[in-house]
């Protein structure tokens, strides 16, 4: 692992090149930037590009150009998950040696059928654990292993979120034994992000609250791997007019697809207001870098709003 001990704050923004940045992405980027820079820390950029089938050609460059147009300049080189496969393998082998993961033959359909009641939410149906004590016999032609799963504990995983306070989750009721590697060899997001953050020395994770339910799984993996736990802050989400989460087609900031070009200062001020700040209207005449510096000086995580909503600009 590349990790070295960092005494300064190291934050990050980690978009996926499967779609253009939108106004919700902007809020997440600005929030993570302000928190890292407020402490005199570093702000890193990582492209979460493991999902190769869903990536769009040229989107990585588009994302970086969009960030630059808002004055969101990252420290150091851009990291990419696709360059970190060796680190994921080492972490996976550590879990294997520790006896905390096991092979699983169950398909998504089988897991869904096993549910005793419908389960709503982004996490789907918690895994029922039928392969926990050994894989069941598969039908002829079935792949020998569909995934590798980590055994989760019965006790609650608790952590402190800088916006929401102390939060606890029982993994068996939310995810069950969750996947760390798929049968085709691809590493799962939960393992990858934990290894990525450790390798880069990230000690502050600021992101949208849509990822809040994943945090206890990541903390559990950090404990199994002996990694330090970052501090967390999950920001309110920008939603559409009907209150739904923005899709990858809403309010795009792409240079090739957006009609918002030339409104960077206006959008940046809207993001600051969304994060609980009250910038003066005449700041719109300033450069994006000056607006961000004003935000760094005035940002207070204790003033983050309790709920998300639409971004007014």
* CA 290, chain centre distance (Å): 27
Q: Is residue 129 part of a domain?
A: yes
- Give pLDDT, residue 120: 42
Which residue range(s) make up the domain with 204?
10-85+195-303
Question: Is 3 domain-assigned?
Answer: no
How does strand 79-80 pair with strand 101-104? unpaired
Asked if the structure places residue 59 within a domain, the reply is yes
Domain end among 189, 217, 248: 189
C-alpha dist (Å) from residue 313 to 147, 181, 256, 272, 281: 45, 42, 21, 11, 12
Domain identity same for 250 and 163: no
Angle at 228 between CA 222 and CA 232, to 5 degrees: 85
The answer to whether residues 30 and 175 belong to one domain is: no
Is 40's pLDDT higher than 50?
Answer: yes
Question: Are residues 184 and 202 located together in one domain of the fold?
Answer: no
Q: Looking at the structure, do residues 210 and 297 belong to the same domain, yes or no?
A: yes
Reduced to 3 states (helix: H, G, I; strand: E, B; else coil), residue 126 is coil
Please say which residue of 189, 214, 249 terminates a domain: 189
CATH number of the domain encompassing residue 168: 3.90.800.10
Answer yes or no: is pLDDT of 83 > 80: yes
| Confidence check: pLDDT of 53 > 80 | no
Instruction: Report which DSSP code applies to 38.
Output: H
Instruction: Output the average pLDDT for the chain.
Output: 89
Query: Do 181 and 299 belong to one domain?
Result: no
Assess whether 219 and 297 both reside in one domain.
yes
Stretch 108-130: mean pLDDT: 68
Mean pLDDT for 59-81 is 94
Quote the pLDDT of residue 248: 60
Residue-level pLDDT at 104? 93
pTM > 0.85: yes
Residues 158, 104 within the same domain:
yes
Q: Which helix (H) or strand (E) holds 108?
A: helix 108-114
- Which residue, 189, 218, 237, sits at the end of a domain? 189
Q: Count the domains in the chain.
A: 2
């Amino acid at each position: 692992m590349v990790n070295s001990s960092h005494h300064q704050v190291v934050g990050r923004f980690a978009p996926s090149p499967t779609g253009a940045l939108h106004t919700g992405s902007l809020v997440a980027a600005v929030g993570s930037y302000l928190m890292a820079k407020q402490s005199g820390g570093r702000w890193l950029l990582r492209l979460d590009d493991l999902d190769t089938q869903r990536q769009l050609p040229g989107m990585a460059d588009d994302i970086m150009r969009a960030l630059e147009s808002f004055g969101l300049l990252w420290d150091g080189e851009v990291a990419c998950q696709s360059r970190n496969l060796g680190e994921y393998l080492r972490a996976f082998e550590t879990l294997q040696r520790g006896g905390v993961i096991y092979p699983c033959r169950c398909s998504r359909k089988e897991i869904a059928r096993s549910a005793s009641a419908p389960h709503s939410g982004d996490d789907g149906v918690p895994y029922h654990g039928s392969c926990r004590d050994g894989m069941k016999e598969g039908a002829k032609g079935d792949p020998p292993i569909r995934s590798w799963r980590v055994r989760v504990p019965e006790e609650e995983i608790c952590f402190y979120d800088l916006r929401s306070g102390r939060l606890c989750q029982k993994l068996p009721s939310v995810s069950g034994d969750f996947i760390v590697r798929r049968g085709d060899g691809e590493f799962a997001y939960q393992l990858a992000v934990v290894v990525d953050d450790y390798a880069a020395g990230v000690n502050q994770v600021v992101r949208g609250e849509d990822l809040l339910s994943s945090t206890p799984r990541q903390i559990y993996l950090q404990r199994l791997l002996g990694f330090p736990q970052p501090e967390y802050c999950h920001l309110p989400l920008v939603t559409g007019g009907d209150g739904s989460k923005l899709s990858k087609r809403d309010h795009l900031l792409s240079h090739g697809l957006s009609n918002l070009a030339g409104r960077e200062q206006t959008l940046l001020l809207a993001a600051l207001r969304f994060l609980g700040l009250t910038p003066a209207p005449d700041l719109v005449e300033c450069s994006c870098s000056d607006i961000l510096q004003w935000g760094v000086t005035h940002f207070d995580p204790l003033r983050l709003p309790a709920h998300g909503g639409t971004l007014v600009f």
